[in-house]
Amino acid sequence: MNPVLLDNNTHRDLRIVTTRGAAWGDDLMTTPVFLSELRSVQAHYPIVFQQADNGPGMQPVALLGLRAGENLFLDARGWDAPYIPLALERGPFMIGRAGEQLMIHVDLDSPRIGRGEGEPVFLPHGATTEYLERMNAVLAEIHKGVVALPPFVAALLRHELLESFVLDIEAADGSSNRLAGFHTIDEERLAALDATALAELHAAGWLAAIYMTLASTAHLPDLIERCNRRLLPQA
Protein backbone atom coordinates (compact mmCIF):
# COMPACT_ATOMS: atom_id res chain seq x y z
CA MET A 1 0.00 0.00 0.00
CA ASN A 2 1.04 3.58 -0.64
CA PRO A 3 -1.43 5.84 1.22
CA VAL A 4 -0.97 9.59 0.78
CA LEU A 5 -3.00 12.60 1.81
CA LEU A 6 -5.44 13.53 -0.96
CA ASP A 7 -5.24 17.10 -2.21
CA ASN A 8 -6.71 18.89 -5.21
CA ASN A 9 -3.37 20.11 -6.51
CA THR A 10 -1.21 17.00 -6.50
CA HIS A 11 -4.14 14.79 -7.51
CA ARG A 12 -6.10 17.16 -9.72
CA ASP A 13 -6.11 14.65 -12.62
CA LEU A 14 -6.75 11.58 -10.46
CA ARG A 15 -9.39 9.19 -11.75
CA ILE A 16 -10.75 6.08 -10.06
CA VAL A 17 -11.99 2.94 -11.82
CA THR A 18 -15.36 2.06 -10.29
CA THR A 19 -15.97 -1.08 -12.34
CA ARG A 20 -16.32 -4.19 -10.18
CA GLY A 21 -14.16 -7.23 -10.82
CA ALA A 22 -11.32 -9.45 -9.62
CA ALA A 23 -8.80 -7.29 -11.47
CA TRP A 24 -9.61 -4.42 -9.11
CA GLY A 25 -9.35 -6.42 -5.89
CA ASP A 26 -12.97 -7.50 -5.46
CA ASP A 27 -12.24 -11.25 -5.38
CA LEU A 28 -12.74 -11.45 -1.61
CA MET A 29 -14.52 -14.14 0.37
CA THR A 30 -15.57 -11.66 3.08
CA THR A 31 -15.74 -7.93 3.67
CA PRO A 32 -16.24 -6.06 6.97
CA VAL A 33 -19.66 -4.55 7.58
CA PHE A 34 -20.83 -1.91 10.04
CA LEU A 35 -23.89 -1.50 12.23
CA SER A 36 -25.40 1.37 10.24
CA GLU A 37 -25.49 -0.71 7.04
CA LEU A 38 -26.75 -4.01 8.46
CA ARG A 39 -30.28 -3.44 7.18
CA SER A 40 -28.99 -3.12 3.60
CA VAL A 41 -26.40 -5.88 3.93
CA GLN A 42 -28.76 -8.47 5.45
CA ALA A 43 -31.10 -8.13 2.48
CA HIS A 44 -28.50 -9.74 0.20
CA TYR A 45 -25.62 -11.37 2.11
CA PRO A 46 -25.12 -13.72 5.06
CA ILE A 47 -23.54 -11.82 7.97
CA VAL A 48 -21.19 -13.75 10.23
CA PHE A 49 -18.41 -12.88 12.67
CA GLN A 50 -14.71 -13.63 12.38
CA GLN A 51 -11.65 -12.83 14.42
CA ALA A 52 -10.55 -9.26 13.76
CA ASP A 53 -7.15 -8.80 12.13
CA ASN A 54 -6.08 -5.97 14.43
CA GLY A 55 -7.01 -7.23 17.88
CA PRO A 56 -8.70 -9.84 20.04
CA GLY A 57 -12.23 -8.81 19.12
CA MET A 58 -14.73 -10.08 16.59
CA GLN A 59 -15.71 -8.34 13.35
CA PRO A 60 -19.02 -8.76 11.53
CA VAL A 61 -18.45 -9.56 7.85
CA ALA A 62 -20.57 -10.15 4.80
CA LEU A 63 -19.91 -13.61 3.40
CA LEU A 64 -19.35 -13.25 -0.34
CA GLY A 65 -17.99 -16.71 -1.16
CA LEU A 66 -17.35 -20.16 0.24
CA ARG A 67 -13.60 -20.37 -0.42
CA ALA A 68 -10.69 -17.98 0.04
CA GLY A 69 -10.40 -15.62 -2.91
CA GLU A 70 -13.92 -16.40 -4.14
CA ASN A 71 -16.59 -13.74 -4.57
CA LEU A 72 -19.81 -15.29 -5.87
CA PHE A 73 -21.34 -11.86 -6.41
CA LEU A 74 -18.91 -11.08 -9.23
CA ASP A 75 -19.75 -12.05 -12.79
CA ALA A 76 -18.93 -10.85 -16.29
CA ARG A 77 -21.29 -7.91 -15.86
CA GLY A 78 -19.79 -6.73 -12.58
CA TRP A 79 -21.41 -6.92 -9.15
CA ASP A 80 -24.55 -9.03 -9.00
CA ALA A 81 -26.36 -7.40 -6.08
CA PRO A 82 -28.06 -4.02 -5.59
CA TYR A 83 -25.96 -3.10 -2.54
CA ILE A 84 -22.17 -3.04 -2.20
CA PRO A 85 -20.85 -2.99 1.40
CA LEU A 86 -19.18 0.27 2.43
CA ALA A 87 -15.76 -1.27 3.02
CA LEU A 88 -15.63 -2.26 -0.65
CA GLU A 89 -17.37 0.80 -2.04
CA ARG A 90 -14.73 3.10 -0.56
CA GLY A 91 -12.32 1.90 -3.25
CA PRO A 92 -8.76 3.18 -2.81
CA PHE A 93 -9.76 5.81 -0.24
CA MET A 94 -9.18 5.55 3.50
CA ILE A 95 -9.27 7.65 6.63
CA GLY A 96 -5.98 9.01 7.88
CA ARG A 97 -4.86 11.70 10.26
CA ALA A 98 -3.19 15.01 9.58
CA GLY A 99 -2.29 15.94 13.14
CA GLU A 100 -5.52 15.53 15.10
CA GLN A 101 -7.77 16.00 12.06
CA LEU A 102 -9.25 13.11 10.10
CA MET A 103 -8.47 13.46 6.40
CA ILE A 104 -9.05 11.46 3.23
CA HIS A 105 -6.05 9.48 2.02
CA VAL A 106 -5.72 7.52 -1.20
CA ASP A 107 -3.72 4.37 -1.87
CA LEU A 108 -1.70 5.17 -4.97
CA ASP A 109 -0.79 1.49 -5.38
CA SER A 110 -4.45 0.49 -5.77
CA PRO A 111 -5.37 -1.09 -9.11
CA ARG A 112 -8.34 1.27 -9.13
CA ILE A 113 -6.12 4.27 -9.85
CA GLY A 114 -7.16 5.11 -13.40
CA ARG A 115 -4.77 5.92 -16.19
CA GLY A 116 -6.91 8.42 -18.03
CA GLU A 117 -10.11 6.49 -17.32
CA GLY A 118 -12.58 6.23 -14.47
CA GLU A 119 -14.38 8.74 -12.26
CA PRO A 120 -12.64 12.09 -11.79
CA VAL A 121 -11.98 13.01 -8.17
CA PHE A 122 -11.69 16.76 -8.70
CA LEU A 123 -13.26 19.20 -11.11
CA PRO A 124 -10.92 21.20 -13.41
CA HIS A 125 -10.97 24.22 -11.06
CA GLY A 126 -10.18 22.03 -8.01
CA ALA A 127 -13.60 21.55 -6.45
CA THR A 128 -14.64 18.07 -5.39
CA THR A 129 -16.77 15.98 -7.72
CA GLU A 130 -20.02 14.25 -6.71
CA TYR A 131 -18.05 11.01 -6.69
CA LEU A 132 -15.59 12.30 -4.09
CA GLU A 133 -18.45 13.72 -2.03
CA ARG A 134 -19.95 10.24 -1.98
CA MET A 135 -16.63 8.71 -0.93
CA ASN A 136 -16.33 11.28 1.84
CA ALA A 137 -19.78 10.24 3.11
CA VAL A 138 -18.82 6.56 2.89
CA LEU A 139 -15.63 7.13 4.88
CA ALA A 140 -17.50 9.13 7.51
CA GLU A 141 -19.97 6.27 7.89
CA ILE A 142 -17.13 3.76 8.17
CA HIS A 143 -15.44 5.87 10.84
CA LYS A 144 -18.66 5.98 12.88
CA GLY A 145 -18.98 2.23 12.39
CA VAL A 146 -15.46 1.56 13.64
CA VAL A 147 -16.16 3.59 16.79
CA ALA A 148 -19.54 1.90 17.41
CA LEU A 149 -18.36 -1.67 16.91
CA PRO A 150 -16.34 -2.47 20.10
CA PRO A 151 -19.19 -1.89 22.60
CA PHE A 152 -21.55 -3.93 20.40
CA VAL A 153 -19.16 -6.87 20.22
CA ALA A 154 -18.43 -6.55 23.95
CA ALA A 155 -22.16 -6.88 24.64
CA LEU A 156 -22.42 -9.97 22.44
CA LEU A 157 -19.51 -11.58 24.28
CA ARG A 158 -20.81 -10.54 27.71
CA HIS A 159 -24.14 -12.23 27.02
CA GLU A 160 -22.44 -15.18 25.31
CA LEU A 161 -24.40 -14.61 22.12
CA LEU A 162 -21.73 -15.73 19.65
CA GLU A 163 -21.22 -19.38 18.75
CA SER A 164 -18.88 -20.96 16.25
CA PHE A 165 -20.38 -22.89 13.39
CA VAL A 166 -19.23 -25.29 10.69
CA LEU A 167 -21.05 -25.79 7.40
CA ASP A 168 -20.25 -28.83 5.29
CA ILE A 169 -21.15 -28.23 1.65
CA GLU A 170 -21.42 -30.79 -1.12
CA ALA A 171 -21.32 -28.91 -4.39
CA ALA A 172 -23.16 -29.79 -7.57
CA ASP A 173 -19.98 -31.23 -9.12
CA GLY A 174 -19.56 -33.66 -6.21
CA SER A 175 -16.76 -31.73 -4.51
CA SER A 176 -16.89 -31.11 -0.78
CA ASN A 177 -16.07 -27.94 1.10
CA ARG A 178 -16.16 -27.04 4.77
CA LEU A 179 -16.96 -23.50 5.81
CA ALA A 180 -15.34 -22.94 9.21
CA GLY A 181 -13.68 -20.27 11.32
CA PHE A 182 -16.78 -18.12 11.66
CA HIS A 183 -19.28 -17.33 14.40
CA THR A 184 -22.94 -16.51 14.32
CA ILE A 185 -25.64 -15.47 16.79
CA ASP A 186 -26.61 -18.23 19.23
CA GLU A 187 -30.37 -18.24 18.71
CA GLU A 188 -31.14 -20.38 21.76
CA ARG A 189 -29.01 -18.20 24.01
CA LEU A 190 -30.72 -15.09 22.61
CA ALA A 191 -34.17 -16.57 23.33
CA ALA A 192 -33.10 -17.33 26.91
CA LEU A 193 -32.04 -13.77 27.77
CA ASP A 194 -34.02 -12.17 30.57
CA ALA A 195 -35.96 -8.91 30.28
CA THR A 196 -33.14 -6.85 31.77
CA ALA A 197 -30.60 -8.04 29.22
CA LEU A 198 -33.03 -7.56 26.34
CA ALA A 199 -33.87 -4.06 27.54
CA GLU A 200 -30.17 -3.20 27.71
CA LEU A 201 -29.55 -4.42 24.17
CA HIS A 202 -32.64 -2.64 22.88
CA ALA A 203 -31.77 0.65 24.59
CA ALA A 204 -28.32 0.60 22.98
CA GLY A 205 -29.82 -0.05 19.54
CA TRP A 206 -28.18 -3.46 19.30
CA LEU A 207 -31.17 -5.76 19.49
CA ALA A 208 -32.31 -4.89 15.97
CA ALA A 209 -28.74 -5.44 14.72
CA ILE A 210 -28.69 -8.86 16.37
CA TYR A 211 -31.95 -9.93 14.76
CA MET A 212 -30.89 -8.62 11.34
CA THR A 213 -27.63 -10.55 11.63
CA LEU A 214 -29.49 -13.68 12.63
CA ALA A 215 -32.00 -13.31 9.78
CA SER A 216 -29.22 -12.81 7.22
CA THR A 217 -28.06 -16.41 7.61
CA ALA A 218 -31.11 -17.38 5.54
CA HIS A 219 -28.92 -16.33 2.57
CA LEU A 220 -26.46 -19.18 3.12
CA PRO A 221 -28.46 -21.51 0.81
CA ASP A 222 -28.51 -18.69 -1.76
CA LEU A 223 -24.73 -18.54 -1.60
CA ILE A 224 -24.47 -22.28 -2.14
CA GLU A 225 -26.84 -21.98 -5.10
CA ARG A 226 -24.64 -19.27 -6.62
CA CYS A 227 -21.68 -21.63 -6.27
CA ASN A 228 -23.58 -24.50 -7.92
CA ARG A 229 -24.67 -22.35 -10.86
CA ARG A 230 -21.02 -21.71 -11.65
CA LEU A 231 -20.13 -25.37 -11.45
CA LEU A 232 -22.97 -26.71 -13.58
CA PRO A 233 -22.80 -26.38 -17.38
CA GLN A 234 -25.14 -23.71 -18.67
CA ALA A 235 -27.93 -24.80 -21.00
| pLDDT at 72 exceeding the cut of 50 | yes
Using CA atoms, how far apart are residues 81 and 110, in angstroms rounded to an integer?
Answer: 23
End-to-end CA distance of the chain: 43
Predicted confidence band of residue 235 (pLDDT cuts 50, 70, 90): very low
For the stretch 210-228, pLDDT in tens is: 999 999 999 999 999 998 8
For the stretch 58-68, pLDDT in tens is: 999 999 999 88
Average pLDDT over residues 44-69: 88
- At residue 77, the pLDDT reads 86
CB crowding 219-235: b at 16 or more within 10 Å, else e: bbeebbebbeeeeeeee
Strand partners, 62: 31, 47
Give Cβ neighbours of residue 58 (< 8 Å, ≥ 6 apart). Answer: 49, 50, 51, 52, 153, 156, 157, 162, 183
Q: In one letter, which amino acid is 32?
A: P
Average pLDDT over residues 169-189: 86
- At residue 188, the pLDDT reads 96
Average pLDDT over residues 79-91: 95
How many angstroms from the chain centroid is the CA of residue 73?
13
Q: In one letter, which amino acid is 75?
A: D
For the stretch 108-154, pLDDT in tens is: 999 999 878 899 999 988 899 999 999 999 999 999 999 999 999 99
Average pLDDT over residues 25-41: 95
- At residue 140, the pLDDT reads 94
pTM over 0.95: no
Share of the chain above pLDDT 70, in %: 97
